[in-house]
Structure formats: structure tokens, C-alpha cells
Amino acid sequence: MQIQITSSPSTTPDALVIPVVQTDTLAETLVTIGEKTGVPPSVLNTDFKADAKEVLPLYHPDGRKTYLLGLGKTPGTMDWLRAFRELFFKQKAKLSQQVAIDLTGFDADRVEAVVLGVCGGGYDLRLYQTEKNDTSAFFSEDGQLRLLVDDAQRAAAEQVLTQAEALAATQLDIMTLMNAPSNYMNPLLLADWATASGQQYGYSVKVLHKEELEEQGFDALLSVNKGSDLPPVLIIAEYKPANAANVRKVGLVGKGVTFDTGGISIKPSTNMHLMKSDMGGAAAVLGTVEAAAKLKLPVHLIGIVPATENMVDGSATKPGDVIGSYLGKTIEVIDTDAEGRIILADGLGYMVSNYQPEVLIDLATLTGSIIAALGYHAAGLFTQNDELATQLIRAGDRTGERLWRMPIWDVYKEDIKSDVADLKNFSGKPIAGSISAAKFLEVFTENHPKWAHLDIAGMAFADTEFGSQKNATAYGVRLLIDFLRNL
């Protein structure tokens, strides 16, 4: 599909989408639309209220179609994105090869959400189905999307379009990484993906394999891996712009558990098949590094991903075992299903010891506790740094990938106090689980002054129009790219 910005289309498109905000002047807006489409405004006023995601298709005598797309009263970025994604996903088999979207009267910034929504609508979750008989003329190589904007907005819209296309392609790849089952996406294959991406987009990728991890003392990562037949890896992706000496250095660490049984503290079987998604933090980190390289952002970015399976066999780490870590701190393993924080301990320790980033952020599908607290509408943000919290929350508000700040007071240190080791990985209490997990991770940041932990358990895998069960959202990539742009 090819996308272009225009203020005066040379030909009449086969299909036109007109987004409509539900304002107090909706009746007047529908009069204008009626004049353009030849449909009486009285009919439009009766049949279309511009509710969020509401669609009214209009058919013209010459075969053309016009879709009125409702956005609701005060649509934010995510509302625009989801409305366009659902429309294009549901209509993709019916869409003609040429489609136009009328964005006249809207700010150029809306182009990003629209393009991400349209491209997302072409996503196909049927990754391994052998029979796919339906085809889409619009989402083919010859498909054409024209975005109609005001003359005054055209230059800005062109710039936004370049960024949006780069982000859209990365997000679709990240969704496939997460949606792939664990026999198609294990730690080694995840490292291969990162290596190929680095070669394509011009950033360096180094992979530490099991022998090197053993030599360098990644005892925490290795302990989680003990029950798996597949070896762990540590992926180090580094993007450096040409003038790296004059830019900020940011470190990202992502949890990369490609399948999580819970280990000896085994999970219930009901939804265990969804645990292929437990590398959502890794996907966000790798996607952010790739997107930053594609956009040539003026930031020195290091992404570290400890990757492993958490499986069950006779060699697996047992509850009550005491293990080491890259920084030398000892950990009493109370619950082997609290494995994400254990591998992040080594990822964070390696980052602060070897790269000393000015800003340090980790992301993980870490706890069910954060879902109990926030549901599926925001990720949990944990940080002692007020300035960093403000920057991240603003990025979340702008992108619609929202964050909510949680307490991380020192009184919660009691929850990770161990009788036999430096700390324990689980409090054993049915309360404040996401907070005690954050306090555990904080120990391995070596008191980094600008560290934030994002618990994205409720956001990385969600119900969408793509399938009948939860699937990947690529949450975190747009959030972090926006944060880095404004850093």
C-alpha cells in the first residue's frame, strides 16, 4: 500500500472516509457533508450521530462509496487510531484499491494516528493458517491511500507521515513477534530477529550466549532457564546517532520470557497458552530501538533483553532456593512464577555496570496485581523521580498509551526482606504485588537517580478486533518514541 498527502486529488477516489467529531455543531457539519455527497442532511441527522467508531456507509450511483466515521465527543490519539483500525479491518475485503481520507479542517498531527490505524487494520493474525482465500485490493502492493489535508498543513503532514509509516511497520512486526507461539519464537529466534533488524536499520546488536552468560555471572537469568531445553540469551541492541557525544544516553531493559509455565510454582492450565506473550517488555524495547534507528532520533539508546523460557523439569529452580545475580546480590526464590523480576535483575545490573545511562527504564509484563489495580486501560509507572514521571505520563497522554503512577515508598522494602539471602523475589502476600516487584527491581538499579519501571501486564496483550482471544498490541513503542522525541 502506498500513502501520499494531497490537498487537491487529481482523480476521484473509489472510496472516501470522512471522520466526524461529535460536536455541538454536528448538524452544520452534516449539512456540509450532505452537499458533498448528495445525501439530504435530514437523512444524515437521523442515521448518524458521530458516536465513537460509528460507521455510516453511503453508496453513490457511479459505484463510489463514502464512509462517515464517528469519533465521539473529545477523541484523543488512541480514539482516532482505534476508530480507523476497526473500520479498515472490518472493511478490508470490501475496500477498493484507491481510498482517500478527508482530513481537511484537522491538524496535521492527526495523520500519525490515522496512518497507524489504517495500517493496523491490515494486520492478519492468521499467521500459520494454510488456507487464506480472502484478499484485499487496498492492502496489496498496488493499494493507494490519499490523505486530503489543507494546503497550510501539507508540509507538516508530510513530515508526520514519514514518522507514522516507520512506526507502523515496526509495530506490525512487534505484534507478530508477540503473537507467534513459543515454538516459532524462542530466545534464540528473538535474538536472530534483533540481529537482522540491526543489520537492516543500522544499529549494533550483540548477543551473549549461555557459555558467556555463565562466564560473566548471570546467575539470576541462568537460574530461571534451568528447567528449559533451550538456552538463554542476553540481547544488547545499541543505536548511536552520528553526534552521539552530544546527546542523551537512555537505557531500556525488557523482560523476554518467551514462554512462562510458572516453573515449579506452576500456573493454572486455563490460560497458560497465552504465556507466549510474556516477552511484551522485550518486544517494546526491541521495537523502540528499531524505530529510533529508522527515525534517526538524536539519542544514544541501549536496549537490553534477557531472554529465556521458564519451564519445569528435574533441573528447574525450586521454591526456597537461593541464587546469585550479575551484581553479586543473593536472591531467595519464594515463587518461581515471579521469574520476570529475576531475569530483569541481571539485565538492569548489566546495564548500570557497563553503560551508565542517564535515564534507565525497564518494561515487563510483570504482575497480575497491576491488572487488578488498573485493569486494561493503563500500565503501572513506578519511579522515585518526579521529573521522569511527568515526562513519561505526558508521553502516555499524547500517544494514548497511558500510565498511572504507583507508590514506591521505602516502607514496602519489608515485603522483599529475606531471612537467608539479601532479598526475596516474592512477598507471599495477596496484596501490593506490583509494588513489591518494583521494590525488588529497584535494588538492582544501584540507586540510579532516573529509573522508572513500567508494569505493562494489562496492556501488552489485549482484546482487539483481530481475533477471538487476547493478542498483541505493541504497547510501549509509541510511548517510548514520544518520550525520546521530547527528551
Q: Is 278 annotated as a binding residue?
A: yes
Q: Which of 85, 210, 226, 341 is catalytic?
A: 341
- Kindly report the CA angle at 473 between 468 and 476, in degrees rounded to 5? 160
Q: Which amino acid is at 315?
A: S
Residues 246/441, Cβ–Cβ less than 8 Å: no
Q: Is 276 annotated as a binding residue?
A: no
| 485 annotated active-site | no
What 8-state DSSP symbol labels residue 209?
-
CA distance 193 to 325: 27
Q: Is 424 annotated as a binding residue?
A: no
- The three-state secondary structure class of 443 is helix
CA distance 289 to 170: 10
CA distance 249 to 355: 9
Q: Which of 73, 267, 413, 470 is catalytic?
A: 267
Q: Is 339 annotated as a binding residue?
A: yes
Alpha helices per DSSP H over 127-279? 154-179, 187-201, 210-216, 219-225
Which helix (H) or strand (E) is 280 found in, with range?
helix 280-295
Q: Which amino acid is at 467?
A: G
Q: Which amino acid is at 33?
A: I
Q: Which amino acid is at 293?
A: A
| 398 annotated active-site | no
Q: Is 450 annotated as a binding residue?
A: no
The candidate with the shortest Cα–Cα distance to 277, out of 473, 131, 428, is 473
Which residues 6+ apart lie within 8 Å of 409 measured at CB? none
CA distance 50 to 85: 16
Cell 515526562 belongs to which residue?
391
Distances 14 to 11, 222, 246 between C-alpha atoms, Å: 9, 57, 49
* Catalytic positions: 267, 341
Residues belonging to the binding site are 255, 260, 278, 337, 339
Residues belonging to the binding site for Mn(2+) are 255, 260, 278, 337, 339
